[in-house]
């Protein structure tokens, strides 16, 4: 017989007349007092954020909330078209596209930096940046967090995010490192590779103490909000059916001609 291990969670608990969330009383200490963005910090960290942490963390989340009619938004609207009775399914479908190509790079950029700086006392950031770029160049793989197909030579979100990091006391080695990585990559590869929004978010989340494995969650929480926004617009002004009809017609036109 296998020896069972204990299982426990500190997230929340419920009795007949009380609900506890992360050590606080939901009714008396959270509802009406803690806004959604600070709630996110509480959920992850177990304590409420300082005002500085709150400003910065909310900034990270809203940066990735909305980017127009992306593949993610299209997937959500297509799903809503077929299943309007389950809008949670539409939001879920949208979230499923947050992978390696688009926003998943928040996680990747935080990962390479946290692994590189782990345990380092006075790290030589320039050397670390060179090593990272060389490693990716050898494997012919894109470095997460730098480069953007539209926003070049600068991603306009990045300087704003670093400015906020400075103003709120969280501009440190990670913010420096991602910029050194971008500069070195531009030098080695000979093209514009600015720190993009996901790179800046990965760096600042690392400054705020977030484990790289949870950093994609910052993007997920923000984008869940954006996807609900898209469904709300789809309800007001439905376009999913017209979109799907056009695609169906054009992609199958050659089959009908036979």
Kindly tell me which of 1 and 122 has the beta carbon lying closer to a second copy.
1
Instruction: Report in angstroms how near the CB of residue 174 gets to a second copy at its nearest.
Output: 18
- In the bound complex, what is the minimum distance in angstroms from residue 171's beta carbon to a second copy? 14
Nearer to a second copy, 85 or 121 (CB): 85
Q: From residue 23, how far is each of 19, 61, 181, 251 by CA, in Å? A: 10, 24, 40, 55
Q: Which is nearer to a second copy, 105 or 179 (CB)?
A: 105
Cβ distance to a second copy smaller for residue 54 or 130? 54
The minimum distance between CB 173 and a second copy, in angstroms, equals 22
Q: Indicate if the alpha-carbon torsion angle 196, 198, 199, 205 is positive or negative.
A: positive
Nearer to a second copy, 179 or 196 (CB): 196
Least Å from the CB of residue 116 to a second copy: 16
Residue 104 vs 172, nearer CB to a second copy: 104
Q: How far is CA 142 from CA 137, 148, 189, 190, in A?
A: 8, 11, 11, 14
Burial tier of 139 (Cβ tally within 10 Å: 0-12, 13-18, 19+): exposed
Strand order in the sheet with 12-14: 12-14, 19-21, 24-25
In the complex, what is the shortest distance from the CB of residue 184 to a second copy, in angstroms, rounded to a whole number?
23
- CB of residue 198 vs a second copy: minimum separation in angstroms? 13
Q: What are the structure tokens assigned to 106, written together?
A: 């928040």
The Cα diameter of the chain in Å comes to 69
Q: For strand 24-25 and strand 12-14, is the pairing parallel, antiparallel, or unpaired?
A: unpaired
């Amino acid at each position: 017989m296998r020896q069972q291990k204990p299982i426990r969670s500190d997230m929340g608990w419920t009795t007949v007349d009380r609900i506890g969330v992360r050590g606080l009383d939901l009714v008396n200490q959270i509802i009406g007092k803690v806004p959604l963005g600070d709630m996110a910090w509480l959920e992850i960290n177990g304590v409420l954020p300082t005002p500085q942490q709150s400003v910065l963390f909310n900034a990270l989340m809203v940066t990735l909330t909305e980017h127009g009619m992306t593949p993610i938004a299209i997937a959500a609207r297509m799903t809503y078209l077929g299943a309007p009775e389950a809008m949670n399914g539409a939001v879920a479908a949208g979230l499923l596209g947050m992978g390696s190509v688009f926003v998943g790079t928040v996680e990747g950029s935080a990962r390479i930096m946290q692994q590189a700086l782990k345990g380092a006392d006075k790290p030589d950031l320039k050397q670390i940046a060179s090593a990272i770029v060389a490693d990716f160049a050898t494997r012919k793989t894109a470095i997460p967090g730098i480069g953007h197909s539209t926003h070049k030579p600068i991603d306009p979100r990045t300087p704003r995010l670093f400015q906020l990091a400075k103003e709120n006391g969280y501009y440190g080695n990670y913010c420096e490192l991602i910029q050194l990585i971008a500069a070195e990559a531009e030098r080695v590869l000979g093209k514009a590779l600015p720190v993009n929004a996901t790179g800046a978010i990965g760096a600042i989340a690392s400054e705020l103490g977030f484990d790289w494995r949870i950093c994609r969650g910052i993007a997920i929480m923000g984008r869940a909000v954006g996807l609900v926004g898209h469904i709300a617009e789809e309800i007001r002004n439905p376009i999913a059916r017209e979109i799907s009809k056009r695609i169906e017609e054009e992609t199958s036109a050659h089959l009908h001609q036979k």
